[in-house]
Structure 1
Amino acid sequence: MEIRPEQPEEYALVEQIHTLAFGGPQEARVVAEVRRSPFYMPELSLVAVMEGRPIGHILFSEVGLQDETGVMRKVVVLAPLGVHPEYQNLGAGKHLVETGLARLEAKGAPLVLVRGHAGYYPRFGFVPSARLGIRPPFAVAPQAYMVRPLSAYTPAYRGTVRYPAAFAGVGYPVEYGL
């Protein structure tokens, strides 16, 4: 299995993967909107490839983290991660997460946020975000909103997460002000 950045000619296939993996088009729309936004990092829109064809995709993009004094810092969110249903449970998701985290570490990112399954993401070092003083801007079970601190993390990274407009399609409040 190869993990690499997605190519423009794969966009439709990647969106199809998310539609099938999530049972609807919302996450595929987020991916398409993030690609058109200034928060898109092409080198962190990764595909898992088997037999020359993408079977999974993960997207990391910028969001804001606003502290109590109003200071906004850039951080990274993992959203979404999808694997084609015919290829689930073969390790594609694991390889996508691990590769993405390694690339973010190399870039000096301070942390990665995810809204996801509390039984899946802790194996990669994610913990409930409340432990680090980070709050989502919407109601979510505390164990489902997680953070993975990286080497550049400091306790100054705390406050409320602010999502850009690209995330409005899946019901996230959008209040990004960088």
Structure 2
Amino acid sequence: MIVCGVIVRREGPADAADIAVVHAEAFARGGGEIPVEVGLVEALRTDDAWLPALSLVATGPDGGVVGHVVCTQAAVGGEPALALGPLGVRPAWQGRGVGQALMHAVLGAADALGEPLVALLGHPGYYPRFGFRPATEYGIVPPAPEWAEAFQVRTLGAYRPEIRGPFAYPAPFAEL
């Protein structure tokens, strides 16, 4: 997929260090601390919830990694579901459609794999453009009650209305 001069592809074995840089820059909070998203991706990569087909990078014209998104195996009331995140774009590439390209690519890939839904914790004003709706509209309970406004779900082709109940992230999310 080519958008704004980037190509979106699956993460390869040589991309791990570049992905860490993407998230370190994208989520930098000052003070020189390494953002938790860097360690989260590393922990997810070694967890049973890791789905290699749903870890995607965006590369610029020189082939360098400028963005990354990942979905991992989660559950809703014991039924399979996906957790999206983190999604990061290097600051110099933000606002140029890279995040949008990554989001469309990962949602399309998840749908093609027969997944029923994707959930994320994110800005309620941004993610509806990708079809995300408040999880509570689907009877899906966020892991923390205070997340209700920002916890969102995007249903996919294999979605069934009986998929309801508490959402469970993969174990590495609990270690944040």
Note whether the superposition's TM-score is higher than 0.5: yes
Pair 1:42-2:52 in alignment: yes
Q: How does 1:18-29 map to 2 (within 5 A)?
A: 18-23=23-28, 24-29=34-39
Alignment root-mean-square deviation, CA: 1.1
Q: How many residues align?
A: 165
The match for 2:148 is 142
Q: Secondary structure at the match of 1:147?
A: strand
The counterpart of 2:74, out of the listed 63, 70, 78, is 63
- Deviation, 1:13, is 1.2
- Deviation, 1:156, is 1.1
Which whole-Å CA distance do the structure 2 matches of 1:149 and 1:140 have between them?
A: 22
Q: Which segments of structure 1 move beyond 4 Å, counting only runs of 4 or more?
A: none
The match for 2:113 is 107
Residue 26 of structure 1 contacts residue 169 of structure 1 at CA under 8 Å; is this kept in 2?
A: no
Pair 1:88-2:94 in alignment: yes
Residue 121 of structure 2 contacts residue 147 of structure 2 at CA under 8 Å; is this kept in 1?
A: no
- Unaligned runs of 5+ residues in structure 2 are 1-5, 29-33
- Deviation, 1:103, is 0.8
Q: Secondary structure at the match of 1:12?
A: helix
Which whole-Å CA distance do the structure 1 matches of 2:133 and 2:41 have between them?
A: 24
- Deviation, 1:140, is 3.1
Which whole-Å CA distance do the structure 2 matches of 1:139 and 1:14 have between them?
A: 31
- Deviation, 1:74, is 1.2
Give CA deviations for 1:3-40 in whole Å, capped at 9, x if unaligned: 00111211011011111111142011111011001111
